[in-house]
Amino acid sequence: MPDGTEVQVFTLSNNHISVKITNYGAIITGIEMPDKIGEMENIVCGFKNLDNYLSNEYLGSYPYFGAIIGRFGNRIAKGNLVIDGKTYQLAINNGPNHLHGGKIGFDRRLFGAETFQTENEVGLKLSYLSPDGEENYPGNLHVTCVYSLNEKNELGIEYYAETDKTTVVNLTNHSYFNLTGGKEDIMNHELFLNATQITEMVEQIPTGKIVEVKGTPFDFTKPRKINHAIDKMPMGYDDNYVLGNETGELKFIGWLKENNSGRKVEVYTTQPGMQVYTGYWNPELIIEGEKKFGRFSGIALETQHYPDSVNQPGFPSTLLHPGDMYYQKTVYKFISE
């Protein structure tokens, strides 16, 4: 880091998959997996050097590649947070709204790290104490993120949080998948989602209504290419799907696949929603003399609570009270077929 702090990179691997994670922002920097003929490639947007994550070019049009997002993933309308009758004004850092935890969210914090290994999996436990008042959120929040990789090629991400004052928590991971290994954009990838509804949005903020996807470009209940409605959706997708998962069970919710490579990622989560973002605003960067990333360079499948839940009493609650434990889990399963 510029101040001399050392940042670590850890590799979780089995005989098929290799996942690189740094304790800066709890970022997944790379996931190497084979295609159908065994060719290994990195299938997520990320960098090999810390300097790229800190560069002005990257942060200027900041896509949050691979990071853990907190305290509150997605948007809060006008940065307006009311808890127990008290108003907290949060940073306005995305148009008129608050996004992804503020000006310096968990994506740019340094986590404590320890590795572990069992008979069936290897893992990394990352922890961070977000002090009371950080980004103007109330409460000292102890956050733990556990990454694990097992022999079934499943990458588990588990989130735990505890607070000493009532606060809000909505944690997610912001990895962008590109199953071609970055050789092409993601518009020819196929997406299937077990979701028949989305939160209706006006300028990226929910109206409070839940609407059906049937007969719209948002319908992925049958597998469709991401560009299937490009004439109606020239900027692609940045929308929250309602998963009908109120009980918090770990449920299969869909998959992403790319036919030429034979690579497929299945998604399972305990979360009630998932933001599908196709990376319209991803910056094009020159990395080691080569043009990389840019528009539609990856698709983020961000399992989460709904955007602006704090201002929508009808949405699943994101409040966390002292004495309670926040817990969510998401699994990405990697398949070559």
**Residue 169 vs residues 43, 140, 150: alpha-carbon distances, Å:** 29, 12, 28
Q: Is 189 a catalytic residue?
A: no
Dmax (CA) for the chain in angstroms is 59
Query: Which of 41, 134, 162, 174 is the catalytic position?
Result: 174
**Contacts by residues 200-208 (CB-CB < 8 Å, ≥ 24 positions apart):** 201/239, 201/240, 201/307, 203/95, 204/75, 204/94, 204/95, 204/97, 204/238, 204/307, 205/75, 205/77, 205/97, 205/307, 205/308, 206/240, 206/306, 206/307, 206/308, 206/312, 206/315, 208/312, 208/314, 208/315
Q: Is 305 a catalytic residue?
A: no
The encoded tokens of residue 223 equal 């597998």
Query: What span, in angstroms and rounded, lies between the C-alpha atoms of 20 and 31?
Result: 6
Q: Which of 92, 101, 154 is nearest to 128 (CA)?
A: 101
Evaluated on CA atoms 256, 257, 258, 262, the torsion sign reads positive
Q: How many CB atoms lie within 10 A of CB 294?
A: 13
- What residues does 141 pair with on adjacent strands? 130, 163
Query: What span, in angstroms and rounded, lies between the C-alpha atoms of 63 and 81?
Result: 24
Strand 18-22, strand 9-13: pairing: antiparallel
Active site residues: 174, 302
